[in-house]
Structure 1
Amino acid sequence: MMFNKARYLKPLISGDDNVDVNVANVTFEPGCRNNWHIHHDGYQLLLVTAGEGWYQEEGKPARLLKVGDAVKINEGIKHWHGATKASWFAHIAITKGTSEWCEEVSDAWYDALTAQE
């Protein structure tokens, strides 16, 4: 996984022959975000549990996420997610399939979003 600052990943359930998803608690420090990425042969679900963060699909506006929000990410959708500059951010990630890690979310791109906070 690609991250530009500190993030904390606690695996909760690892996929095996009987369970075909991975479940993890992911916590981002303020300003931390992952790279653009794509999930293949599956999907990802994000369940926001703390703080505020951003979710963005390529070609669409960023969405501000708060506690209780959920995001369904279909196979093949290029996206990123991470904390706002002013808040820690945590979510449960339920992921099926593999992840392809792409380019960083640039500081200029991210800074333009954070002006909306």
Structure 2
Amino acid sequence: MESKDRKENSLLNRIEIEFSWNHEGKATPSRAEMLDMVASMEPGANKDLIVIKHVNTRFGVGITTGSAFIYADQESMKVEPEYVHNRFSELRSSNATTDEPAAEEDTSEDAGGEA
């Protein structure tokens, strides 16, 4: 994987990377593989704070391009839509965005069972 462009977006507290991955003769890389490669490209990046977007693989060429956003903290990631958080929830080691709704559901179940 090679980095085509790297921008620091201080307004959104993230680093934006445009990447290209040559995987000729192999299958399209999975999200988990892309997360690992982006984390290895940016020193100090936490895989739980990376979002991969705009992934495009050209038919018959074996090159995948895309964008990766590396956030500084969990609070900064709140600008991403909920479906993006859901898309990467299985790949995260600490699911702060998915733990909160689960806790709300648990309290509503407890309250419903007591009434």
Higher helix share: 2
Which protein shows a greater Rg? 2
TM-score, normalised on structure 1?
0.34
TM-score, normalised on structure 2?
0.34
Q: Which has the higher contact order (CA 8 A, sep 6+)?
A: 1
